[in-house]
């Protein structure tokens, strides 16, 4: 029996990626729904936690309680060693609250303009949180992919910082096809590490239906 799972994001790129990840990697019959499909298109949660886990958990609980469905939320960021882990939790608004992906990338490239290749190490980190409605328990999964910040943009795929994130083989994340990216990305790894929780939730819903 299929159960509905709310993906707690208004980011269309992230929503698309989660749908692709579930199709490729999750061995269960979840029906993924977007906030706009359950009347939560304008719903927002303040992300002012001190960690990815805190932000993801807050979003998962808030969205789940608002619609009465199990919810999955994530918080992710780009961590640059030369910037002491920045932009980190503020990756989505690195160039300002109203900044888009291009502005964030431009600011990061400008900030690192004088950093040589050997000092541009970085990683994408993602924490996924899963919540049932009207409960306080949150189940987590974390994933990391290592790389570095390139000198310029390349690639037409992906979103966010993908065009300037260079993998160890030199390719940008934005140059990977869907299947390859979804096999190695931080979001894919976080989902894999949360797969036990998805199975638990599905089994719990089967028993209660």
> Kind of pairing, strands 30-33 and 71-80?
unpaired
Helices (H), ranges, 42-116: 52-67, 101-111
Rounded CA separation 136/131 (Å): 8
> Active-site residue 74, yes or no?
no
The greatest distance separating any two alpha carbons of the chain, rounded to the nearest whole angstrom, comes to: 59
- At 44, give phi and psi (nearest 5°): -135, 155
Of the residues 29, 48, 74, 75, only one is catalytic, namely 75
Rounded CA separation 172/162 (Å): 7
Q: Which of 95, 9, 18 is nearest to 59 (CA)?
A: 9
Tell me the catalytic residues. Answer: 75
């Amino acid at each position: 029996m299929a159960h509905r799972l709310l993906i707690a994001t208004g980011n269309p790129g992230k929503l698309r990626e989660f749908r692709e990840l579930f199709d490729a990697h999750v061995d269960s019959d979840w029906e993924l729904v977007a906030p706009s499909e359950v009347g939560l298109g304008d719903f927002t949660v303040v992300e002012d936690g001190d960690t990815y886990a805190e932000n993801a958990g807050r979003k998962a609980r808030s969205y789940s309680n608002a619609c009465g469905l199990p919810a999955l939320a994530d918080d992710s960021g780009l961590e640059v060693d030369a910037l002491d882990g920045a932009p980190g939790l503020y990756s989505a608004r690195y160039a300002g609250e109203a900044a888009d992906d291009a502005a964030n990338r431009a600011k990061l490239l400008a900030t690192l303009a004088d950093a040589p290749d050997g000092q541009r190490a970085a990683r994408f980190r993602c924490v996924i949180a899963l919540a049932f409605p009207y409960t306080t328990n949150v189940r987590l999964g974390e994933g990391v992919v290592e790389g570095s910040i390139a000198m310029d943009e390349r690639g037409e795929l992906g979103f966010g910082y993908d065009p300037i994130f260079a993998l160890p083989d030199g390719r940008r994340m934005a140059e990977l096809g869907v299947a390859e990216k979804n096999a190695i990305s931080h979001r894919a790894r976080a989902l894999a590490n949360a797969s036990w929780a998805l199975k638990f939730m599905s089994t719990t819903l089967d028993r209660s239906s």
